[in-house]
Amino acid sequence: MKPDKEFPIRRVIDEDGQLVGDRSGVTDDELKEFYRWLVTLRTLDQRAWNLQRQGRIGTYPPFSGQEATQVGVVAALDRMDWICGSYRDWAALAYAGVPLYYPLLNSMGHPVSGNIPDSVQALPVQVVIAAQILHAVGLAWSAKLQGQDRVAVTFFGDGATSQGDFHEALNLASVMKAPVIFVAQNNQWAISVPISRQMNSQTIAQRSLAYNIEGVRVDGNDIIAVFQTLKEVAARVRAGKGPALVEAVTYRLGAHTTADDPTRYRPSDEEARLSHGEPVARLKRYLLGAGILGEEDFQRIDDEAKATVDEAVKTAESYPKSASETVFDHVYQDLTEPLKQQRAAFRQRVAEGGGQRG
């Protein structure tokens, strides 16, 4: 098999922002909105990194470099479609309508970050690698059984494709023809392990062949290509053609998390080479070259993004603290007897001055 021929990477604008494909179906206004979101999310991500270094939030998983994949996918969905993401998919959730201060609260350990607004059809972010892939299949299968016109989309990294959950999910979805779209964000590194060492397949997309489902590769740094591809894929999945696996080829610009140091394992020349086509700079080059936006527009968008993120930080840091005993909440609908006893003991300890709020 020749992956480049059977699973070519779809692209509309190249690393330099030059139009190399068909841009039909995407308006100038949509591109402006995409750019505004990409800049806002990048600003949030960089600010979160700084906040962690200042000791104002806990461990944080940056998503810089993967914004185009997440925004482009969600933009192609219907409002009632399900979104199942991992700890690195806050860009997708924010674009779907989750408040921008949620990622910050999440890294502060605040339980409210798991309380997804009713207006957003999404599950809380999943920390267990690949577990959300199974959840998406369950939601999609349920929608099919109930005759609902909904698809489920799940995001995961290249490392997650080596988990058993990934293969179990694709197999079940294929057998049941569940309306689910699997979006693999191939950012080249599973923490410190390059993709060449954690799988022997030349592409992630070709794994679709084993499960007899559609497989597609797209340039994950090209938001136009991502948006167009997901529109097409979602239409086929929604029409009952079965699930699909989309490999978005992208690059993780920074560390795996704030606890990671990529300079210890990632070649500097690789970072310089692959970061050139990152999504924010790429779209900016295209918008400028096409005369859709000018330098004054870019400055205004930068300023607005900074103000928006400043407000999100202010909201997160002033958010009411939660009681420590909330650790017993939101796990079971009805608390088990052992947990009830543990909660009672915890409350007693707090009353005696041995507990705290945080």
Q: How far apart are CA 203 and CA 217, in angstroms?
A: 9
Query: 51 near 103, Cβ under 8 Å?
Result: no
Q: How far apart are CA 310 and CA 170, in angstroms?
A: 41
Q: Label the pairing between strands 82-84 and 214-219.
A: unpaired
Q: Which of 265, 273, 330, 357 is catalytic?
A: 265
Q: Which residues pair with 9 in a beta bridge?
A: 217
Known active-site residue 256: yes
* pTM, entire model: 0.93
Known active-site residue 135: no
- What contacts 24+ positions apart, CB below 8 Å, involve 295-298? none
Q: Which of 10, 11, 256, 282 is catalytic?
A: 256
pLDDT per position in the chain (358 positions), as tens? 566 678 999 999 999 999 999 999 999 999 999 999 999 999 999 999 999 999 999 999 999 999 999 999 999 999 999 999 999 999 999 999 999 999 999 999 999 999 999 999 999 999 999 999 999 999 999 999 999 999 999 999 999 999 999 999 999 999 999 999 999 999 999 999 999 999 999 999 999 999 999 999 999 999 999 999 999 999 999 999 999 999 999 999 999 999 999 999 998 889 889 899 999 999 999 999 999 999 999 999 999 999 999 999 999 999 998 888 888 887 788 999 999 999 999 988 888 876 554 4
Neighbours of 349 (CB within 10 A): 12
Query: 95 near 75, Cβ under 8 Å?
Result: yes
Q: Which of 42, 252, 282, 286 is catalytic?
A: 252
